[in-house]
Structure 1
């Protein structure tokens, strides 16, 4: 997905995918995707640069 993403950083790509997961009702590691988005934005969950 990274090559097709419009995001400048990997974190943005991850957030895009989590948004899609949320919209179709998926969970990620038994968590609601929006909870993961909040953790990323709060700095609790770090996404490696590359």
Structure 2
């Protein structure tokens, strides 16, 4: 069983997007631009599991 400090550490290590997904939310990414496509920013969000679908 995790102590309160261990649970807090687990939450702090997750990104805000990961926390939303864990809470059952499906955040939208409405501002995709060409720069994100070229520099790999969108691919990184997908690889990290922050953007799905």
Q: TM-score, normalised by structure 1?
A: 0.31
Greater Cα radius of gyration, structure 1 or 2: 2
Higher relative contact order (CA 8 A, sep 6+): 1
Q: What TM-score results when the alignment is normalised by the length of structure 2?
A: 0.30
